[in-house]
Chains A and B, each alone.
Chain A
């Protein structure tokens, strides 16, 4: 199972629409417009697998494919790292 963690060079700033993520290395800004996605990003490294992290913030099974895709895009943008 894939394990994610927030990239150590990324800063997160809470916003009304979710959060901004800024990568100090590649200097890219990413908009996170879902509060649950932000909560998952903040906590994901505490969990052994991604489903446990999603369940903890109330994402039910049928909503998870969209979150898997979002997390994969965030890995590509280097907001998350994959262990």
Chain B
């Protein structure tokens, strides 16, 4: 059996998982997949966080991707980092950079077990700040400078690729090179507030072709397997090229609920909670949802397409939040099957769930991109 087949049947422990510590955030990015804004009073306590780390260490999860919200807003964030490192659970955390002071940067540079990922969404302030808010580009670049000054090598700079920044890929590479950092590109999903801007910000078909060739030319650029749907264009992109949801990845949210992946924060994809008896381990190994996801899937509408083996029907979250059936084509299918599916799905997009969409910080703020109808 090929490794990717084994992986699609699931592992006893995730390869990596995303852990969103808080939905509190000092930014209100227009595409935030967790609709972050305010902290939830039900967030896991410090001792509950530590208990999860103990489980991850016992399961030999090598590292966690910590995010949010802005995870450093939790007062116990640095304590949690130390706790993870002491148990050999590596941490990569995503941040907008606002808390990366020179002294924090020095502390972070001192351990191999911690990696930092700074988010930007434009290679210049104007492009970035239209998505992430005024001043956010300068904040991120200042954090990069602090990390570089502290001798932190090869930290990550993460970009959600959009219609407005896809022309700046070389610019992102030049920017990250200046700080000795590594570029990571991910796909815009119609999740959380991303649903509100997806129609106008997701890359066009022509841009997808350019992006695919650029990724093939730059194999060192990280993607978190984000763009495996583009592998249907020909040669597979570097990476596993499979949807890992519930199979090799999952997400723990701020109140301990476990979802199949970071992009499907919806009850339909909730597997359980770390607060129940048996904890995270039981959810990962025994939940009904994850068991189902590990069974062989049907190719559905894509069965007759010669590219199914390459793209496996694309991203579950992208389909779900655009109203396309889960066995239908990806809305950004490179063979154009997404357009018809989107038309057929018109009006059936699931509403975002206010239970995990604490977007109060974004309320009343103008959304700095135009939102209109998708061109016919």
Contact yes or no, B60 A27, CB < 8 A: no
Name the B residues within 8 Å of A13 (CB-CB).
13, 60, 62
B63: interface (CB < 8 Å)? yes
Contact yes or no, A33 B3, CB < 8 A: yes
Q: Given the known inter-chain contacts A11-B88, A13-B60, A17-B1, please indicate yes or no for A29 contacting B6, CB distance below 8 A.
A: no
Expressed in whole angstroms, the Cα–Cα distance for A17 and B6 within the complex equals: 7
Tell me the minimal C-beta distance from B222 to chain A in angstroms.
Answer: 10
The 4 closest A-B pairs by CB, nearest first: A22-B62, A17-B6, A13-B60, A33-B3
Known: A11-B88, A20-B15, A24-B62. 11 other contacts (CB 8 A): A9-B112, A11-B62, A13-B60, A13-B62, A15-B11, A15-B12, A16-B6, A16-B11, A20-B62, A27-B115, A29-B15
Contact yes or no, B112 A25, CB < 8 A: yes
Subset of 18 A-B contacts with CB under 8 Å: A9-B112, A11-B60, A11-B62, A13-B60, A15-B11, A16-B6, A17-B1, A17-B3, A17-B7, A22-B62, A22-B63, A22-B90, A24-B62, A24-B112, A25-B112, A27-B63, A29-B15, A29-B62
Contact yes or no, A24 B113, CB < 8 A: yes
**A interface residue count range (under 10 / 10 to 19 / 20 to 34 / 35 or more):** 10 to 19
Chain A 28-64 against B: per-residue CB contact (8 Å), 1 yes, 0 no?
Answer: 0101010000000000000000000000000000000
Name the A residues within 8 Å of B112 (CB-CB).
9, 24-25
Q: List residues of chain B with CB under 8 Å of any chain A CB.
A: 1, 3, 6-7, 11-13, 15, 60, 62-63, 88, 90, 92, 112-113, 115
Tell me the minimal C-beta distance from A30 to chain B in angstroms.
Answer: 11
Tell me the minimal C-beta distance from A80 to chain B in angstroms.
Answer: 17
Expressed in whole angstroms, the Cα–Cα distance for A15 and B7 within the complex equals: 10
Name the B residues within 8 Å of A16 (CB-CB).
6, 11
A31's closest neighbor in chain B, by CB?
B3
Q: Given the known inter-chain contacts A11-B62, A22-B63, please indicate yes or no for A27 contacting B3, CB distance below 8 A.
A: no
Expressed in whole angstroms, the Cα–Cα distance for A82 and B1 within the complex equals: 31
Expressed in whole angstroms, the Cα–Cα distance for A29 and B15 within the complex equals: 9
Name the A residues within 8 Å of B92 (CB-CB).
27
Expressed in whole angstroms, the Cα–Cα distance for A3 and B273 within the complex equals: 47
Contact yes or no, B11 A24, CB < 8 A: no
Tell me the minimal C-beta distance from A3 to chain B in angstroms.
Answer: 25
Name the B residues within 8 Å of A33 (CB-CB).
3
Expressed in whole angstroms, the Cα–Cα distance for A11 and B90 within the complex equals: 11
Name the B residues within 8 Å of A17 (CB-CB).
1, 3, 6-7
Tell me the minimal C-beta distance from B4 to chain A in angstroms.
Answer: 9
